[in-house]
Amino acid sequence: MADRIGFIGLGNMGGPMSANLARKGFQVTVFDPRPAAIEKLVAAGAKGAKSIGDVVDAADVVITMVPDTPDVEGVVLGPDGTLARGRKGMLHMDMSTISPAASRRMAEKLKEKGIGWVDAGVGRSPAHAEKGESLFMVGASPEDLARVTPLLNAMGNKVVHCGGPGAGIATKVVNNYLAMCLNQLNAEVFTLGAKLGLDTKALFEVVTSSLSSNDHLKLYWPTKALKGDIEPGFALDLAFKDLSIGVGAAKEAGSPAHVGSAAREAMIRARTQQGLGQKDVTALLTAAAAEAGIKPPTL
């Protein structure tokens, strides 16, 4: 008998991923604080729940895709969460970007009750999630990986097993550390180019055709800041949270984080001094250009 799925968190990523599960024949019960998000998933074939507890009661595998570490802890460790209401043999798969240390702690607590844990960090964008083309960085035992693989294949097209519980989100944090630092570097490079009077299109062609190339710049920036659009696909506030987790992880590990710390400070300035936290991460270009006293360059 196939696992019954509970999905908590129906935002830009969780919404389309859970919809793919429902459309592909999985029995899915969903919850989100926003009733409209639940209604949208019910229309896609899922069953709506009134609370986190209702999801846990109805599921064999509970999936969380929520904003931050405290949100996951609320679902896992809260009075109506997986630890309190879950049953031996259940599994919790967290797909949020959270602290690796917190992920490992929750895995250990659930293990004591006979509940499995999988951390499956998600790569790529909401557009990929819509098409079922997400990438997953997975931390799990071989047995739990086998159990969730059909779910991951329904939501994405690439699964990388990174190791045991905690390894998936740690990989995501490291990957995001690079991605967020590259966003800051992109902002500085194009601002400097504009200050030096360079043609933005020519600079873009050179950078994307040379060893300086990076996928954030090649694939994402032309659709956002370099097009003059800083409405959020991935909000700067979330990028700041992800990078803060990475810098914190580096500090805990005794590993240097000079560029990461500098990029984080730049994000703080963009959020607090210019109020760009709810704009797209590429709004770092807006902030850098403002510091230079120029308009943000566009293609």
Which whole number is the average pLDDT over 78-91? 97
Task: Indicate the average pLDDT of the chain.
Answer: 96
Task: Sort 1 into a burial class: Cβ within 10 Å, 0-12 / 13-18 / 19+.
Answer: exposed
One of 47, 158, 172, 279 is an active-site residue; which one?
Answer: 172
% residues pLDDT > 90 (the chain): 93
Where helices occur in the chain by DSSP H, the ranges are 14-23, 35-43, 52-58, 69-77, 82-85, 100-112, 126-131, 142-155, 167-195, 200-208, 215, 236-253, 258-272, 284-292
> Other CB atoms closer than 10 Å to residue 237's CB: what's the count?
18
Both tokens of residue 106? 């929750």
pLDDT tens digit string along 185-229? Answer: 999 999 999 999 999 999 999 999 998 888 889 989 999 999 999
Residue 143 has a pLDDT of 97
Q: How far apart are CA 61 and CA 232, in angstroms?
A: 31
DSSP bridge partners of 64 = 8, 94
Residue 59 dihedral angles phi and psi, to the nearest 5°: -120, 155
Residue 215 has a pLDDT of 85
Which whole number is the average pLDDT over 155-179? 96
Domains in the chain with CATH codes: 5-167 (3.40.50.720), 175-292 (1.10.1040.10)
% residues pLDDT > 70 (the chain): 100
pLDDT category at 95 given cuts 50, 70, 90 is very high
Q: How far apart are CA 29 and CA 21, in angstroms?
A: 10
Spell out a b/e string for 124-157, using b for 16 or more CB atoms within 10 Å of the CB, else e. bbbebbbebebbbbbbbbeebbebbeebbebbbe
Residue 249 has a pLDDT of 87
Using CA of residue 141, residue 144, residue 150, residue 155, what is the dihedral sign? negative
Residue 131 among the catalytic residues: no
Q: How far apart are CA 265 and CA 245, in angstroms?
A: 14
Strands 116-123 and 134-139: antiparallel
Confidence check: pLDDT of 38 > 70? yes
Residue 133 has a pLDDT of 96
